[in-house]
A and B are shown apart, each in its own frame.
Chain A
């Protein structure tokens, strides 16, 4: 009797602990490293995924992909008119703001899952920001921060950004604008079926500056003393060269 109770309790416990997801997903990201060089003007990361399932499908899959860039502290300022001149007046600081946020899905988000589920899973621009720890109220500073980022192409939400190539194989593109920040990017992929989360996986890629860009940025931030001297020398040398080349006497 005791044994049976124990078994039931154990199985109940196990079922609580066991992953709720029945499907596993294999994904590959290419390229896993985006190089920002002097000719860079935007790039694309392509993600391929395959659902591995043993069950008979009980409905079409829905996929949502959230790509998150390195977190930043952002100061949002509001300007107002003082004596006829527009000045920055009040400001609000936000921490852990993703520098890039790309949300794409195989269908419109509301068709994939209910608003409740989407919020819990951090899918959609607003939900992803809340998940990142930003306030959930409609604070005008935050609303405008998001609007500015959207206009810069750094925040985007595209339903239809994920396409199914077959019943279980899908493809997604994450397009990075030319002003993309460098750093490590996380990709969170969630698989839904009949409005329920049935699988999830993570992946990542890196954006790095290469060549002259990397060299200059690295020198300017980490070796600023030498960098400053080098720029001054370059200026003096250019000036000297010009005075020699165009000497008229």
Chain B
């Protein structure tokens, strides 16, 4: 059954979209990520223009991260102070991201930049995850205990403007917190991702946010930045497709529940290995797209209606 997507301006099989939502939702539930880094590329691969894909997926991530945020909130694993500082950077970052997006679209380099950013980000993150989880699996096999050095300080801890985050029990400068929020905001708005799979490692490695509060806080931040991204994309570029968004959301939230359940039966480092492979695969697909010669060197875009 074909469903005509009003803003994307093309008919797409509704079952394909639901299946896409379910599959991405399953993966996102399984790995505890928003799934934007898979959803946006898949939409682009099936013919939705990158602009519409990025803007619409923002609303899909709003839904999935909000449902996550609620359940973490109930378990009181959200650090409100941390989220507040992250958000002050994140919201500004989102607005800058949409601004960059609009400018690039006007000069016709948006699609290339999106593909390029995906390539860099996905291969880096995927590669790191692969190495890290590979080591963890080896360590588990050799029965070596994991070396933990609590209280280790990095250069990040030498920065001024320190603040005590009581829920997370950390004492760090607000500069890196703000900067991380800003970076996630920009990247999220330009690439159509929530950035959870970037944010969580950054919070753990740079700020030493404990695992108890990191995912909940990330989910709250992502909900806010993606809600703002959806709104700003809708107002400035008119690219948010509500029909597409609704179908993806429904598939996504249902899929996430099944994913979360099946994740319980799998060891964490194997899960990370799988996710790393998946991320790397999507990254290489973009790399291939960038270096292979397009079928047609010419492309056209309607920029206005003449009377």
Contacts and interface: CB of A to CB of B under 8 A. Distances in A.
Interface of A: 36-41, 70-81, 84-88, 91, 93, 95-96, 99, 140-141, 144-145, 147-149, 178-179, 183, 209, 212-214, 216-217, 219-221, 224-225, 227-232, 234-236, 238-243, 246-247, 249
The interface centre, meaning the residue of B68, B70, B233 with most chain A CB atoms within 10 A of its CB, is B70
Contacts of A78: 297-298
Contacts of B249: 234-235, 238-239
Contact of A249 (B64, B74, B242): B74
B243 A216 contact: yes
Contact-size category for B: 35 or more
Contact of A239 (B4, B62, B299): B62
B238 interface: yes
Contacts of B257: 242, 246
A148 B249 CA distance: 33
A20 to B, nearest CB: 30
A40 B11 contact: yes
B300 interface: yes
A228 B246 contact: no
Contacts of B71: 243, 247
Interface stretch (B165-173, B180-188, B286-294): B286-294
A73 B294 contact: no
A214 B243 CA distance: 12
A231 B59 CA distance: 7
A239 B230 contact: no
B104 to A, nearest CB: 11
6 contacts: A41-B2, A72-B302, A77-B299, A81-B293, A220-B6, A234-B59
Interface in B60-106: 60, 62-71, 74
Contact of B7 (A74, A140, A216): A216
A239 B306 CA distance: 41
Contacts of A228: 230-235, 240
Given A217-B7, A235-B60, A239-B63, A72 B305 contact: yes
**Which of B235, B242, B246, B257 lies at the interface centre, i.e. has the most chain A CB atoms within 10 A of its CB?**
B242
A21 to B, nearest CB: 29
Contacts of B7: 216-217, 220
Nearest to B64: A239
A220 B55 CA distance: 12
A148 B296 CA distance: 9
B108 A91 contact: yes
B50 to A, nearest CB: 13
A241 B63 CA distance: 9
A227 B298 contact: no
A81 B291 CA distance: 8
B59 A178 contact: no
Interface string B244-258: 011001100110110
Contacts of A212: 6, 243
B238 A75 contact: no
B291 A84 contact: yes
B11 A85 contact: no
B174 to A, nearest CB: 27
B204 interface: no
Given A86-B112, A209-B6, A242-B257, A221 B238 contact: yes
B288 to A, nearest CB: 11
A179 B112 contact: no
A196 to B, nearest CB: 33
A77 B298 contact: yes
Contact of A236 (B2, B6, B62, B234): B62
B225 to A, nearest CB: 12
B250 A238 contact: yes
Contact of A96 (B63, B230, B306): B306
B306 A224 contact: no
A220 B307 contact: no
A229 B231 contact: yes
A220 B60 CA distance: 17
A75 B301 contact: yes
A132 to B, nearest CB: 10
